[in-house]
Amino acid sequence: MKHVLIPTKLNAVAKEILEDRDMTVIQEPDGDLLELAQQYPETEALIVRSNKVSQEVIDAFPKLRLIVRAGSGYNTIDTKYARRQKIDVMNTPGANANAVAEEVIALILAYCRHVCPADRSVREGLWEKKKFMGRELAEKTVGIVGLGNIGQLVARRLEGFDVKVLGYDPLLSNRRAEELGIGLVSLPELFSRSDYVTLHVPETDETRGMVNKDLLSLMKPGAVLVNCARAGVVVEDDIRAVKAEKNIGFVNDVYPSDAAGDKSVADIADVMLPHLGASTVEANTNAARRAAEQLVAYAERGVTKFVVNKQVPDDLDVAYQELAYDIALLARHYLGTHTRVRRIECSFYGELKRFAKWFLSPIVAGISADFDALSEPQEAEDYLNDRKVDFEVRDTDSEKGYGNSITIDLLEGEELIRQVSVRGTITEGKLMVSRINNFEDLYFDPRGASLIVVYEDRPGVLAKITGAVADSGINIDDIRAPHEHSGSRSLAVLKTNRRVAEEMVSRIKTEVGAEVVFSVSIP
């Protein structure tokens, strides 16, 4: 790999490192990718920042083998199409983390001390000291949603401010939280107790719109929401409504599109920045150096640790990775998405045993919404290690006759308070859940919308459940309702034409005294 194109304003250290390895490097900071493809058709590797690398762009580079995103987020790159074209995509996770963490502190302080409006006032010749009476951060409570690299650094940067730090991260152990000085709480408790809430989760199907009226309405009057994560994590109209009622503050650095023009949050944001989280000299340098070093390691030694769209072995059917994700997600919802998973135990039967490591990323992604299923297995392992979540692949007995199947057990809490076990397989090309705990022979497709209820068996309960679903105007496509072989409980699995709303889930739980009840929708 000799020809590298950098179509962005990246620190010169990347070009220097690559040229020291006898690579030809072209850096065009403001170039159009399609035009650059015509000028430099020999390009084998791209290093980009926020450049949009679409299917059209990928097709325009006939010799392209690698795309490196100098930064963590790679939603601007069509990773799936790149994979189909046998092009690897890398990112440089953590390179920008400190820059974003420091920005969070800057935004909170700017809000507390009215830095922006006070600056404008003084420049206009005014002297409005009473108008800009501020607040101190000391002795307040800061809630951090998402305790990955950035969230943990925010906690560390807050140490000198004499604040109480609360955190929410379903996979972070109590032991690791104690080391960080963070009190782990549920998401509703975090929003209700915090004076400042800062968001550090990616935008995924699970997190999109997670900060809605239900959570925002729990905030104290005058509390502040900080969003340096992704725009889609919050529901703008819900912020608007709660802000009018409780006068909550809102500071923001992220938008649906990184471009000039009117911003839809302008009327509710107290402080707005043009997505400057990673825009520091140091972050740019770190990302540039990491991108170049990873490219060299890839080209010279075949190191693929940071490839985010890594292809599975040719003889592994990717449908089994999808199965692993689906049953992990189902198990996660069974325990509750706000509970903390302490341990993951897996069994892989049949031919799947030799592919165990390739299931780790989809399993972690099913359990934690802030982990990407396309990540490399080592990243998944590092992710679990950082949160002190134990992971075990159990020995399996081929004599059991389970064929090619997967069992995933999740154990909750430090003292193994609760656990769930789910087994799945593929039958006639269809993904199937065959067992949940002691309920055998289920064989239902986890895809689509499902309502799952565990209850003490007695006459009339199933009728109440189906009646409640019908009251919601939801059609029931299929029902599985087995009894425990040894016990007095029953399980109802209802496949529905759309997801049952949480209000109806709560009603069913109350009416039938359900031990477990949840709705889930798996694409």
- Among the listed ranges 18-27, 298-307, 446-455, which one has the minimum average pLDDT value? 298-307
Query: Nearest to residue 87, comparing CAs of 113, 48, 38?
Result: 48
Residue 6 has pLDDT above 70, yes or no: yes
Alpha-carbon gap, residue 284 to 277, rounded angstroms:
11
High-pLDDT (> 70) share of the chain, %: 99
Contacts of 387 (CB under 8 A, 6+ apart): 147, 169, 171, 172, 173, 176
In this structure, the dihedral spanned by the alpha carbons of residues 433, 467, 337 and 402, taken in order and rounded to 10 degrees, is -10
> Going edge to edge, which strands form the sheet with 249-252?
183-184, 164-168, 141-145, 196-199, 224-227, 249-252, 271-272
Dihedral sign computed on CA atoms, order 442, 443, 444, 445: positive
Q: Per residue in 407-436, pLDDT tens?
A: 999 998 765 578 999 999 999 889 999 999
Question: Quick one: pLDDT at residue 311?
Answer: 65
Asked whether 255 and 249 are in contact (CB, 8 A), the reply is: no
The answer to whether residues 201 and 187 touch, using CB atoms and an 8 Å cutoff, is: no
DSSP string, 435-463: EETTB----B--SEEEEEEEEE--TTHHH
Which residue has better confidence, 311 or 204? 204
Interatomic CA distance for residues 245 and 14, integer angstroms: 50
Q: Rounded to an integer, what distance in angstroms lies between the CA atom of residue 25 and that of residue 355?
A: 38
The predicted structure's pLDDT at residue 193 = 98
Nearest-angstrom CA–CA distance, 148 and 141:
19
Rounded to whole angstroms, the Cα distance separating 420 from 330 reads 10
Question: Could you read off the pLDDT of 241-273 as tens digits, one per residue?
Answer: 999 999 999 999 999 988 899 999 999 999 999
Q: Which two tokens stand for residue 312?
A: 């599975």
What domains can you pick out in the chain, each with its CATH number? 3-95+281-301 (3.40.50.720), 97-272 (3.40.50.720), 312-446 (3.30.1330.90), 448-523 (3.30.70.260)
Mean pLDDT taken over the chain: 93
Q: What confidence score (pLDDT) does residue 416 get?
A: 55
* DSSP class per residue in 69-115: ESSS--TTB-HHHHHHTT-EEEE-TTTTHHHHHHHHHHHHHHHHTTH
Give tens-digit pLDDT for 320-362: 999 999 999 999 999 998 888 999 999 999 999 999 999 999 9
**What percent of the chain has a predicted confidence (pLDDT) above 90?**
80
User: Cα–chain-centroid distance for residue 305?
Assistant: 19
Residue 489 binned pLDDT confidence (cut-offs 50, 70, 90): very high
Instruction: Pinpoint the alpha helices (H) of 200-280.
Output: 213-216, 236-246
Using the 8-state DSSP alphabet, how is residue 399 labeled? G
Half-sphere exposure (CA, 13 Å, Cβ side) for 429?
0
Rounded to 5°, angle at Cα 74 from 73 and 80: 145
C-alpha–C-alpha distance, residues 242 and 237, integer Å: 9
For residue 415, the model assigns a pLDDT of 59
Cα 316 to Cα 313, 378, 404, distances in angstroms:
6, 18, 11
Q: Cβ contacts of residue 334 below 8 Å, gap of 6+?
A: 410, 420, 422, 436, 452, 516, 518
- For 154-173, the pLDDT digits (tens) are 999 999 999 999 999 988 88
Cα atoms in the 13 Å half-sphere on the side-chain side of 299: 22
Closest by CA to 347, choosing from 391, 380, 386, is 391
Judged against a pLDDT cut of 70, whether residue 290 lies above it is answered with: yes
Map residue 18 onto helix, strand or coil: helix
Asked if the model's pLDDT at residue 205 lies above 80, the reply is no
User: Which pLDDT value is given to residue 162?
Assistant: 96
pTM above 0.75, yes or no: no
Alpha carbons 267 and 465: distance in angstroms, whole number: 44
* Angle ∠(74,230,160) on CA atoms, nearest 5: 110
Higher pLDDT, 375 or 38: 38
